[in-house]
Amino acid sequence: MEQETELRGIVEEITFRREDSGFTVLDLSCAGELVAVRGVLPQITPGEELRLQGNWEFHPTYGRQFAVVRCERAMPTTAGEVLKYLSSGVIRGIGPVMAQRIVEKFGEDTVAVLEGQPKRLAALKGISLAKAEDICENFKKQFSLRQVMIGLERFGMTTAECLRVHKKLGGRAVDLVKSNPYLLCENDLGIGFERADTIAAAMPDPPAQPLRIQAGICHVLRHNLHNGHTCIPRERLRQPCAQLLEATEEIVDEAIETLVAQRRLTAYQAGDREFLFLSYMYRAERNIAAHLRRMLRFPPAATRLGADLDAVILRMEDELSIHYEEQQRAAIRTAMDRGLLILTGGPGTGKTTTLKGILALFQKADLKVSLAAPTGRAAKRMSDLTGAPAKTIHRLLEVTWEEDDRPAFSRGARNPLEASAVIIDELSMVDVPLFSALLDALPLGCRLVLVGDADQLPPVGAGCVLQDLLRAGQLPTVQLQKVFRQAMGSLIVTNAHAIVEGRTPDLAARDRDFFFLERSAPARAAETVAELCAARLPKAYGYHPTADIQILCPSRKGEAGTARLNERLQAALNPAAPGKREVTIGRRLFREGDKIMQIKNNYDLLWSRKNGGEEDSGTGIFNGDIGMLEKILPADGILRVRFDDDRLAELPFDAAEQLEHAYAVTVHKSQGSEFPVVVMPVVSVMDNLAYRSLLYTAVTRARKLMILVGSREQIRRMAENARRVQRWSGLAAFLREEEEALDADG
């Protein structure tokens, strides 16, 4: 890690500031030299003396800059310091003239007056009591942040950490953190357990050891949420906790009992095993089970179509010039009759045709139907396939985002959706918290159709909703199994089914839509992938190298991983050229014309889009959105990106850490998407990624052409490896338990 440098000086001028994040660019007078400084520096004012820690960087446009990690400053105490602070305009309602009058009147008592004595302040001519109260309230807020920053920086916390803690814990943050620094890793502050441990060690009075043990156990459970587990068997939790905390398993067990008693953890006994949940995750899975059982017990009311649905479906077949297979007909009937359906099936089995039939029947019954999918790309694909508008699930639930980037949904039990039927596609991507929120928002009697492919990769978030619902065996399910004749002509389809069945796909064909090129060395495979994308496929088939072709990789790492391939492909497809602007931000070189992907949800980014003759606009660019870097505006510090659905957004340079190149992306990032052409290197795949569902997911992303480049043996091993990444969850057990409870009720 690079050694941090210390810098001291006086703030001369604030040149840029984002109030929401505290990101600031300023000029610092340091030993007679004017230095450009950037970083999270909320409420810094000209004339302030700063002690900064950070690193020197070279910005391609602005030159040498000092990137701040920590900022230390003293609270203004003397009348002169307070006058300088107030004159900066940091307090709404106080300018230089008013600041002079206040300090002349109250002198050394100025801070005490502004903190809570509005009546004394109102004694000054020109300040009403209402204005005095407003000034005092603003001062307390601003001064509170400065006090928290100064108090927490003593423990080695970065300026950005201090800002997040103040937003979450308010003016009492210093006292709360001093009494228990492990609050920092339990409040969605982006501060991990190890970091909280370091902060605790910097305190003169370290907290009691039980607080550390309890926080460490919760940390291990939270860490496992990122691995997909909603719970962990108790016997599996003891050893890693003991190892992390350097404690005995007996001490860990005692702490678990305390956490359960405090309801910070929930214990659930299944047979002879005890499972431990973070309590909010337990409630979410329980909520799902209760909602679904209620929907089964109280099906929706009959519609005006009457009881003879078979006759209605036959007439619909005539109208649409289509013939449904019996499984498809059963799915359409079930969606209408029972009001709850899981529809599954692999490629070529008629899921889309069935889905369109269900939608047509709902519309015939005058039901108000809402369509949704987990991601923007999946929702767009759903809309393209059905001809009906579709939203992301978040948009359907009218999401707003809290300061800690947690979703809050306007639609819920108290404000349900205005829909009488909801259809969700790509359910395999939906995690437990989102599915629980969706069910909360369904009005009484609303029909629900869940569509997905259980052989796909599981969701990025916690849980495995689709697989758990199928495993529980309690819900009406139709699994489409027949591959239609027209789909059988596609080697993509037949090879996808071969992979699901554990067989090696057909790699010998040379004249169909699935090709294999043998390359045993990762570097040679990467070279071939780049050649295919840059030259061979565009020349032979006319495919556009960025609009039509997508490289999918099992991993980010290695010669054939996304990181190295993106470097190769940027050089091949978008080389430097006169007049083409580029900028290095962090470790990435961005160039106008680059294919890029958003890798973190950014709910505040504004976008605009031309929609016919009108202009549409909104906020939010989300993880997995792919686009083209159209323009770099160095003077404004802006990257202008046009995303695939024609949304145009401007990202400030300080948000560019949320972007990466997308000539090559991981298979996990491709879920819910479909591309005309997919090229995938399959060589030296890491053992923890060399499994069937990853290969299957990649193959089913291709619409017209799929090319595997790599080792036959590697492909064979992946197809045969049915091992899924095991996910511990309670949903299937809770569903079965609900069924048993209902049976007992009689």
Beta-bridge partner residues of 665: 552
Q: What is the chain's mean pLDDT, rounded? A: 88
Radius of gyration of the chain (CA): 30
CA 188 vs. chain centroid, Å, equals: 14
What the block records as the tokens of 711 is 């080792």
**Residue range 258-282, pLDDT digits in tens:** 999 999 999 999 989 999 999 999 9
**Residue range 297-335, pLDDT digits in tens:** 999 988 877 678 888 889 888 888 888 999 999 999 999
Note the pTM of the prediction, 2 decimals.
0.82
Share of the chain above pLDDT 70, in %: 95
CB hemisphere CA count around 84 (13 angstroms): 15
Going across the sheet that includes 602-611, the strands are 614-621, 602-611, 648-652, 638-643, 626-633, 595-598, 659-661
Rounded Cα–Cα distance for residues 719 and 332 (Å):
33
Rounded Cα–Cα distance for residues 683 and 691 (Å):
13
pLDDT exceeds cutoff 90 at 358:
yes
| Pairing of β 33-40 and β 63-72 | parallel
Going across the sheet that includes 514-518, the strands are 514-518, 702-710, 675-682, 549-553, 664-666
Residue 457 in contact with residue 668, Cβ under 8 Å? yes
Rounded Cα–Cα distance for residues 293 and 744 (Å):
14
pLDDT exceeds cutoff 60 at 745:
no
| 3-state SS assignment for residue 367 | coil
What the block records as the tokens of 175 is 């006292």
Please name the residues in contact with 703: beta carbons below 8 A apart, sequence gap of 6 or more.
674, 675, 676
Closest CA to 723 of 683, 695, 681, 684: 695
pLDDT exceeds cutoff 90 at 23:
no
Average pLDDT over residues 195-210: 87
Q: What share of the chain is helix, strand, coil (3-state, %, to 5)?
A: 45, 25, 35
Beta-bridge partner residues of 602: 621
Beta-bridge partner residues of 448: 340, 422
| DSSP symbol at 249 | H
